[in-house]
Amino acid sequence: MDSILAAIVLGHDELVDLLTTMLREMVAGRYAGVEIAFGAFSRWLKSHIRIEEEVVFPVAMGALDVGGAVVSALQKEHVCFQELCDEIAGQLQRSEWTTAIWNLRELEAALKVHEQREEQVLFPLVEARLRAPTLRELTAVVREKQV
C-alpha cells in the first residue's frame, strides 16, 4: 500500500546519508568540495521541509485532534534547521572547519530525532485516520514534489 511514510522516509534517509558523508570527510581533514556539497544538502533539506509543510502537515492538522500542537513543534524545528544551515554555510565559507563540524553533528543528531518523531508518530497516525483514496492521493503528491 502507498504510504506517506514510505514516500518521506526515502528523503529522510538520503538527507542523513549526505550529512554523514560530509562529516566523515571533514573529520578526516578533507574539506575540498564540502561547501558545494553542503549547499546541495541545504537546498534539498529546504525542499523536503517545503513538501512536509505544504502537503503533509495541513493534512495532519485536519486528521488529528492533536495535529496542531504536533505540527507546530515540528515546524519550529524546521525553522531551527534552516537557521543552523545558514550558520554552517557561513562557517564553511570562512573555513571555520572545527565549528562547522560541531554544528553539522548537532544538525545530524537533531534531524535524526525529528525524523524519528515524524516516521514513528505523526505519519502513522495520519495514515491510520485517512481513507485509502485520500492516502493514495496525498502520497502521489508527495512523490511528485520530490522529483
What is residue 58's predicted lDDT score, i.e. its pLDDT? 84
What is residue 1's predicted lDDT score, i.e. its pLDDT? 39
| Average pLDDT of the segment spanning 96-118 | 94
Which ranges in the chain belong to alpha helices (H)? 4-27, 34-51, 57-63, 67-93, 97-117, 123-129, 132-146
Residues in the chain: 147
Q: 80 in helix, strand or coil?
A: helix
Measured from the Cβ of residue 87, the count of other Cβ atoms closer than 10 Å reads 14
pLDDT digits (tens, 9 = 90+) for 72-91: 899 999 999 999 999 999 99
pLDDT digits (tens, 9 = 90+) for 16-75: 888 999 999 999 999 999 999 999 999 989 988 888 888 778 888 877 776 678 888 999
| Cell numbers given for 91 | 562557517
- Comparing 29 with 125, the larger pLDDT belongs to 29
Q: Rounded to an integer, what distance in angstroms lies between the CA atom of residue 135 and that of residue 129?
A: 9
What is residue 70's predicted lDDT score, i.e. its pLDDT? 83
- Comparing 107 with 120, the larger pLDDT belongs to 107
| Average pLDDT of the segment spanning 1-7 | 57
CA-nearest of 116, 145, 120 to 16 is 116
Global pTM exceeds 0.85: no
Element (H, E) at 120: none
CA-nearest of 123, 114, 137 to 4 is 123
What is residue 47's predicted lDDT score, i.e. its pLDDT? 85
